[in-house]
Amino acid sequence: MSELFSNSIFFFENNFVDMRIRDITELFRNEVNAEANFIGDTENRSRKGGNMSASQLATNWICIATAGETVDKRAIEEQWLLDAAELYDPSLYTALLWPEHSRNFGNMGEVLELKAERDDEGILRLYARLCPGISLLQANANGQLLFLSPEFTPDGNFRNTGKTYLEGLAVTDSPAGVSTTRLRFSRTKGKRIGPYKPLAFDEVREFKKEKGMSKTAKKGWRHFFSIEEPEATAEQETSQPDALQALAEALDAIDKRVSAIETRLGEAEEAVSDVQEDVDTVKEVVDTEDFARLVGNLPELVKNFSKLNSKVTQLPDKKFSKGKKGFNFL
């Protein structure tokens, strides 16, 4: 009965541990699915040309076009640049960054804002602040896609306004325009790059906080540009997601149950050891010659005992009145 009870307890404890492990696995699966759903939503927005600001990165002002003749004998008119700077509104239509003007491989970032300015020589230039994607950062680090090539409204009549809009911006290694700023995303701040305008466009900073972005992705972006990790507030340090709290409680419960199981197993091992010692002692006695001789004489002893039981002592008759005998006196 005791052994059956112990086996039942052991079976219950094992099943309890299995159930807790399944609960923990489900918690992890939910966390992973939530993170995967967020990443998938971000990628879908990227493919559809939606808001790319989840990268939380922004460059300084970069020259993307210069008024005048291009290297392939075309002309970029000043009015195009003025119109683009005036009309550009990313909430209305976002100009995305396309590798070599191709739409087949997804965009590599977006244009945040535009402005048109003249340099010291009176030449009009169009400047942009960009939000680069990770694919552009990787390509740029490998020395690829170093320049920019604007894509203006083909007929110069954006939405019947009679003006030109920046509808896209290509990242390329063979730009047609001149005096565009070479893209050089760097970890080191303070460099001044660009042959005409001394712009430190390598300073990249966070421009938007988005709660949905994963902590791992945020850390990777900051590390790439040597951006310091923001200090956690007291509220952030003390707060803990419900899922993590449940996980901690589940792990604590499992630890206690496992400790109890280990204790019971230790007690069972001690009991088995004691029984084994008793068995060894009995075995030593049974294996002796005296015990073997005793076992050999046992049949004879049983036989003799049976003979003793068969012998009956004759008792005298209790009726002394039968037959009168005289006494023989000496």
Instruction: Specify the 3-state DSSP secondary structure of 274.
Output: helix
* Catalytic residue flag (residue 179): no
Please state, in angstroms and rounded to a whole number, the distance separating the CA atoms of residues 185 and 171.
Answer: 13
* Catalytic residue flag (residue 72): yes
Phi, psi values for residue 277, rounded to 5° = -65, -40
Of 46, 55, 135, 149, the active-site residue reads 149
Place of tokens 């994963």: 214
Q: How far apart are the first and last CA of the chain?
A: 79
171 in Cβ contact with 147 (< 8 Å): yes
**10 Å Cβ neighbour count for 239?**
9
Distance of CA 53 to the CA centre of its chain: 23
Of 2, 72, 273, 317, the active-site residue reads 72
* Catalytic residue flag (residue 174): no
Please state, in angstroms and rounded to a whole number, the distance separating the CA atoms of residues 91 and 109.
Answer: 15
Please state, in angstroms and rounded to a whole number, the distance separating the CA atoms of residues 250 and 3.
Answer: 30
37 in Cβ contact with 45 (< 8 Å): no
Of 8, 41, 101, 252, the active-site residue reads 101
The catalytic site residues sit at 72, 101, 149
